[in-house]
A and B are shown apart, each in its own frame.
Chain A
Amino acid sequence: MSTQNIEVREEVDEIIEKNGYDDHFHDHHASDKYKSSFVGKYIFSLDHKMISRQFLITGIVWAIIGAAFSVIFRLQLGFPEADMAWLKPLLGKWIVLNDAGIGSISQDFYYALVTMHGTILIFFVLTAGLSGTYSNFLIPLQVGARDMASPLLNMLSYWFFFLAGLVMLYSLFLSTGPFSGGWTAYPPLSALPQASSGSKGGMNLWIISMTLFIVSQLLGGINYVTTILNLRTKGMSMWKMPLTIWSFLVTAILGILTFPVLFAGVLLLLFDRSMGTSFYLSEIFIQGAALENVGGSPILYQHLFWFLGHPEVYIVILPAMGIVSEIMSVNSRKPIFGYRAMAYSLMAIAFLSLLVWAHHMFTSGMNPFITNFFVLFTLIIAMPSSIKTFNWLTTLFRGNLRLNSAMLYCIGFVSFFISGGLTGIWVGSSTLDIPLHDTYFVVAHFHLVMGVAAFFGMFAGLSYWYPKMFGRYMNETVLKVHFWITLIGAYCIFWPQHYLGLAGVPRRYYRFDSFNSFTGWEGVNEFITISAIVVFFTQLLWVFNFFYSMWRGKKVTERNPWHSNSIEWTTPIIPPHGNWPGKLPKVERWPYDYGKDGKDYITQITPYAEGEEVIAH
């Protein structure tokens, strides 16, 4: 895997040698101690590139688990009568057999699956897996730093994430099962151990796991922001940073400001569960007995949760947006359209996302006057979002498009972002949301705009940076097959759910046949389930490609295979610890000089030629 290619000296080396910045990094022999042992190199590694790969692979493992869960509960929804006894060897008592020996998924287990699917995908895969991988990998390489500001905190960030995962994994094996009250963990279900079997030990472990996760996010985020603001190489002013870096910066700031609020919410929940406080509980009757708790309010939890919860969805999507902007520009051989507008809209989205949390609570009995405020700000977010969308489309317009897999995934991202974003405007208006809330319409909305779109951003990034990460290429044909099946398959899964939602079919129901108003969708549900199964196996194809290519993929022989401008491509094919073997490159220009003055591309470290026009971007 790590066969070091014999590097030819290239023009970029000459430029770095001549103009670069000598920080005497290699005088300290700092690189030696990182190579010492297997454990030091692959496990407790301090190198940002290895930590990035750890986040990536852990994320992939969680993605497979989370997706497999969705296939199981989709089987229940698509084929409620089918015999599931064949799953008994794997799932044990979660498959209940009736007198005739026909097996079905137990109801408790169904709810546990839905809850774990949401928690795992949103937090472990699309937050830690996505930001953790790309922020770690790209920040030092693209701003021209030797490593993160604090490699130690960076390593701890990964290990806290790993521990959070272990705790959650352990909860799957409890006899009472993992938490089953939905990824949002609303009280009273989450606050009362006697409320359901998942609310017992499973919920305790959920809280512990989330706390570890929050610590991981804060350590990571603080490091990312510090590195971007303080460790940029010479010449790398803020307005010369690639949009990827802008997006990681904004994402990390958002995380630093909102994850502590989730911690506060979960802390009070923990007190309600174990110390008898009444922050969220009031006048509850359970199993015929009245509880002593008075004076609490479950709505309070919703405020605290969604103050993180809404920014969280942007924490998921912003890095994907940055990745897409970068790759799209390179593969259109054109500057990104509206560079500053792109950066400013990232900031605007992040800022506004702090003001709209209550649009998840329109049906909670909020004062309708306050509702207006949240509707207004929610709809204003559509503006920076559409600025970004138009800029992507304009970047594509009349571009010299290279339709490789990375580019296809980017186009797919934009497609999903538009389809899901438009329904955001529906649910953002309280009048429409009151009937649509908690129906499949919302499920369709957020899976398109966040779930699938963010995954496509992640796929795009891996097609594009895989050569830098592993020194080899993934198989392009397999990637394209994966792209088309996933694109069409995802629309087949989520498009019909809009119609279910409009007809009022609620989300998170175990089965629908006891409600006359929700029947008649059996065929559609079967169709969705079959699509989900096809898409699931296509993802396994991608995973196979990913691992296979690490050892067997085509080797990278060119240092800058995509003819890109940003400085990660001036490092050796497999960057050593410290990233640049000699001096650090000095940055002269912004990263998007494609097709300028008849030149296909001009790297960021190329000085301005005599008489070349300096454009302020």
Chain B
Amino acid sequence: MDVTLVSKNKGIQPLKFALWAGFASIIMMFIALTSAYIVRHSAGNWLEFKLPNAFIFSTITIILSSITMHMSYSGFKKGSETNYKLFLIATLALGLIFIMFQYQGWQEMHHIGVDLDGNPSGSFVYVISGLHAAHVLGGLAILTVAILHAFSLKYKPTEKRLLRFQLSTQYWHFVDILWVYLFVFFLLFR
């Protein structure tokens, strides 16, 4: 991404601002889906089922991954190259495990007879968690690029690399918080 200009107004860096504007639209998309869920939920004929246990594990995993991401980031900033690289890989691994748990969760739902094309209560969980997983996959791609950078470039926390890393970190935390919100939402509206 190339920015022709540096911001002349002090304050937030333009690309960071753009990323947050992007978050706003992703949030609106999930608000739309969860509102549709609430509206449909209140209309009755709603199949209640227990959320798969794998979702609990996946929630723990993704929270852990945020912590490792943060440790990698502070390693990068404070000059600890090993922490930076190690925790970055740990984050990627936890991200992959998260996706595996999600997949296992869908399997569990399938085994208790809740399928995508059944009662909308199940369809909603599939679609919403699936769409979230797609955003995590995007995050995994970003992490992969970050790791490639970490190992191919000489370690040097320049302004430009710091910014790039901050953008990646923020996106990762965002998809983490998003999942926690969705998980709590699913628990509350059974």
**Hey, which bits of chain A sit against chain B, CB under 8 A?**
21, 23, 25, 30, 145-153, 218, 221-223, 225-227, 229-234, 256-261, 263-265, 267-268, 271, 275-279, 294-297, 300, 303-304, 307, 578
Contact = CB atoms under 8 A, between A and B. Distances in A.
Given A230-B17, A268-B36, A150 B3 contact: yes
B28 A230 contact: no
A231 to B, nearest CB: 6
B1 A300 contact: no
Given A152-B1, A295-B120, A307-B32, A232 B25 contact: no
Given A21-B8, A267-B131, A304-B36, A260 B15 contact: no
B14 interface: yes
Interface string B80-97: 000000000000000000
Contact of B127 (A146, A257, A271): A271
A616 to B, nearest CB: 21
B15 A150 contact: yes
- Please classify the interface of chain A as helix (H, G, I), strand (E, B), loop, or mixed, using the class held by over half of its residues: helix
A265 B127 CA distance: 12
A225 to B, nearest CB: 6
A341 B86 CA distance: 56
Contacts of A152: 1-2
B39 A300 contact: yes
Contact of B32 (A150, A260, A278): A260
A231 B25 contact: no
17 contacts: A147-B5, A149-B17, A150-B14, A150-B18, A222-B21, A229-B17, A257-B25, A260-B25, A261-B32, A264-B29, A264-B33, A275-B116, A276-B116, A278-B117, A278-B120, A279-B120, A295-B120
Closest 5 CB pairs of A and B: A276-B117, A260-B29, A264-B32, A261-B32, A230-B14
Contacts of B158: none
Given A146-B4, A231-B14, A267-B127, A258 B28 contact: yes
A271 B4 contact: no
A288 to B, nearest CB: 22
Given A222-B25, A256-B24, A296-B120, 6 more contacts: A227-B14, A229-B17, A259-B25, A260-B32, A261-B28, A295-B119
Interface in B39-54: 39-40, 43, 45-46
Contacts of A294: 45, 119
B60 to A, nearest CB: 28
Given A232-B8, A256-B25, A295-B119, A151 B2 contact: yes
B117 A277 contact: yes
B28 A23 contact: no
Contacts of B3: 149-150
The winner among A30, A145, A227, A277 for most chain B CB atoms within 10 A is A277
B79 interface: no
B123 interface: yes
A231 B5 contact: yes
A354 to B, nearest CB: 10
A297 B42 CA distance: 12
The winner among A227, A264, A297, A300 for most chain B CB atoms within 10 A is A264
Contacts of A226: 14-15, 17-18, 21
Contacts of B124: 279
A307 B26 CA distance: 15
B7 A230 contact: yes
B6 interface: yes
A153 B1 contact: yes
